[in-house]
Amino acid sequence: MKEFVEYIVKNLVDHPDNVRINKIEGTNTLVIELSVDKTDIGKVIGKKGKTINAIRTLLMSVASRNGLRVSLEILEENDKA
């Protein structure tokens, strides 16, 4: 699933080299943290959040087939460790 998100996001943004994805796995849950260049955040979110919601919907569909719950979070620059 990490590769799936990475493929989609890298094709949306202007700076694909700055895309960072971290995956945190639990028993039946998966949290995917997405970090992109500051100038690309709007492209990933889309108008009224439609793009990010579409990505989340696709992720949830794939995850439910595998019996997982998935969450996609966008990290802002000041959230980086």
- For 22-66, what is each residue's pLDDT tens digit? 999 988 899 999 999 999 999 999 999 999 999 999 999 999 998
Alpha-carbon distance of 49 to 55, in angstroms, equals: 10
**Structural fold of domain 2-79:** GMP Synthetase; Chain A, domain 3 (3.30.300)
pLDDT given at position 33: 95
Tens-digit pLDDT profile for residues 6-29: 999 999 999 999 999 999 998 889
Model pLDDT, residue 25: 92
Calpha distance 53→27 (Å, rounded): 24
Element (H, E) at 3: helix 2-12
Residue 19 and residue 50: Cα distance in Å, rounded?
Answer: 20
